[in-house]
Amino acid sequence: MPTILRIGPYRFFFYSNENGEPAHIHVQRERALAKFWLSPVMLASSTGFSAQELGKLSTVVREHAMLFSEAWNEFFGPAN
């Protein structure tokens, strides 16, 4: 599972077997986990994060969406 970015306690990554899905990024902090679609940036699922924290994470994902999309395309190919 490639880790794309770490910011404070957050790890931004995707699983290497997810090429059948649209581009997205997972965010993990301890046992909390969220998944954001990248185009458009939108929360797909979450467990363990507060609504306030998810708002902040959504902003971070938007700010780094290009980086995450480029990493996704480099790993899986641009057709996904």
For position 5, what pLDDT does the model report?
98
Token pair 């699922």 is at which residue? Answer: 45
**Closest to 13 measured CA to CA, from 47, 46, 36, 45:** 36
DSSP assignment of 20-78: TS-SEEEEEETTEEEEEEETTEEEEEEES--HHHHHHHHHHHHHTHHHHHHHHHHHH-T
Give the pLDDT confidence score for residue 79 in this predicted structure.
61
Q: What is d(CA 76, CA 17) in angstroms, rounded to the nearest whole number?
A: 9
pLDDT at 1 over 80: no
DSSP assignment letter at 3: E
- What is the pTM assigned to this prediction? 0.93
In this prediction, residue 80 carries a pLDDT of: 47
